Amino acid sequence: MDGDRQTAGKQRETTTLISLISIAICAALYVSFYHLNAWLFKAFELHSGANWVFLPAGLRLMCTLVFGIDGAIGLMVAELLLMHQNPGIDPVTGIVNGLISAGAPFLIYRAALRGGMPASLEKLSASRLSALAVVYALVNSSLFSFWFTVRGVFPYFVQNWITMFIGDLLGTLIMIYALKIALALFRRDAHQPL
């Protein structure tokens, strides 16, 4: 009986450690890609938070597809870190930004699982990945555009929504297909004899 308890305790510790590492990886990747996107695509920015190409949107969906709830928590942590790096963002806006950033891709992920999506990214067809990206971009851009309009960050809902939808869709497609290609190459190389 004590052996079973010790084994269960070690499994919980391992699971907790893996979750913390997953959260940290997602947070670090998101913050890094947020800054990379700002540097690469500054000329395509409508305003802070709306860009015609937004790679972090793809990373949001990718983190939830790969890490589930741990990915969503990592995204929330990342948004809180970004809020502290940008003193112009008030706490309410920053927290709601984090909830949308983490919540929208996680809800899309959960809905897709309920709709029969395979749990593995490798098993998703190109058409299902594209459909997932479109639905995610629609939901994410709608929520953020509404929030930015309500908060007075950018008062033109339609212009903001169009920019965010296109930016989120492009960023999501770029990131997800880059990961899918990397996984396919890795899998192919793993099966090559030495």
pLDDT digits (tens, 9 = 90+) for 34-85: 999 988 888 777 766 678 889 999 999 989 988 999 999 999 999 999 888 8
Look at residue 51 and give its three-state secondary structure.
strand
Q: Can you list the domains of the chain with their CATH numbers? A: 2-36+51-190 (1.10.1760)
Question: pTM of the predicted model, to two decimals?
Answer: 0.83
pLDDT digits (tens, 9 = 90+) for 167-188: 999 999 998 888 878 877 887 7
Distance of CA 184 to the CA centre of its chain: 21
Predicted pLDDT of residue 27 = 96
**Contacts by 19-23, CB closer than 8 A, 24 or more apart:** 19/70, 22/67, 22/70, 22/71, 22/74, 23/67, 23/70, 23/71, 23/73, 23/74, 23/77
Instruction: Give the closest residue to 52 by CA, choosing from 35, 40, 64.
Output: 40
Alpha-carbon gap, residue 169 to 143, rounded angstroms? 14
DSSP letter, residue 42 = G
Average pLDDT over residues 136-158: 89
Q: For a pLDDT cut of 70, what percent of the chain falls above it?
A: 88
DSSP letter, residue 153 = S
